[in-house]
Amino acid sequence: MFITFEGLDFSGKTTQAELLVSRLRERPVPGARSRQPVCFVREPGGTRISERLRDILLDRKNLELDDIAELMLFSASRAQLVAEVIRPALLRGEIVIGDRFYDSTTAYQGYGRGLNLESVHRINAIATSGLAPDLTIFVDIPLAEIARRKALAGLTFDRMESSGRAFYERVRNGYLELVRYDPRRLVCVDGTASISEVEKEVWRAVTRLKQEPAPGA
């Protein structure tokens, strides 16, 4: 089982991904007789090569990075992560929880940067060798809430976070479009709710996933 979390920065997606990892390590998924090992990955990163690419992508010194080069670097990082970590873990029967996957590229580089969506989809397919999540949780929050959380955190913005409000509006709208296009895989949860309420929504989505019949059944 492969579950990914998506959302804008400061949406709380990483917190929810980590909470689900902890829960799955403590108890079996609904319908399972025993616990399965859980593998947690984040993007970009997760391997030696992917972490080096992450440094390039997030470094504010690299503001001149071309949009297509950005797309290729994110995809290269993902390709390495899939080949080295995700696919082997799935083959071993582990549950993989991902903090971002290819929907981030579609939302950020496709909708946000305005790159050709058909080309982005093709590159996503190549980078993942066709691997798709079984379930994707999109933790949605409005941009005003992002600004409030950033101000409270007092953190320095990385290169991606410095892209401006209009960019993030396009990214958020892109995510919402993806949810509308594929509601069976993508589940939108309200990230302005309390952490515990969002966690409950996530668990309900995981439970529904395990109760659904397999395709073709």
Per the domain annotation, does 216 fall within a domain? no
Per the domain annotation, does 155 fall within a domain? yes
pLDDT score at 35: 84
pLDDT score at 198: 97
Report how far apart the first and last C-alpha atoms of the chain are (Å, whole number).
17
pLDDT score at 6: 98
Per the domain annotation, does 193 fall within a domain? yes
Residue 1 has pLDDT above 70, yes or no: yes
- For the segment 106-165, what is each residue's pLDDT rounded down to a tens digit? 999 999 999 999 999 999 999 999 999 999 999 999 988 887 877 787 766 655 656 678
Q: Tell me whether residue 164 is exposed, middle or buried, using C-beta atoms within 10 angstroms of its C-beta: 0 to 12, 13 to 18, 19 or more.
A: exposed
Per the domain annotation, does 150 fall within a domain? yes
State the Cα–Cα distance between residues 14 and 22, nearest whole angstrom. Answer: 12
Per the domain annotation, does 206 fall within a domain? yes
Angle between helices 117-128 and 67-81 (to 10 degrees): 30
The per-residue b/e assignment along 96-112, b for 16 or more CB within 10 angstroms, e otherwise, is bbbbbbbbbbbbbbbbb
Per the domain annotation, does 217 fall within a domain? no
Of 78-82, 169-173, 205-209, give the lowest mean pLDDT range: 205-209
pLDDT score at 181: 94
Q: Tell me whether residue 64 is exposed, middle or buried, using C-beta atoms within 10 angstroms of its C-beta: 0 to 12, 13 to 18, 19 or more.
A: exposed
Whose tokens are 């980590």? That residue is 18
Q: What's the pTM value of the predicted model, to 2 decimals?
A: 0.90
> What is the domain extent for residue 51?
2-211
CATH number at residue 101: 3.40.50.300
Per the domain annotation, does 111 fall within a domain? yes
How many structural domains are present in the chain? 1
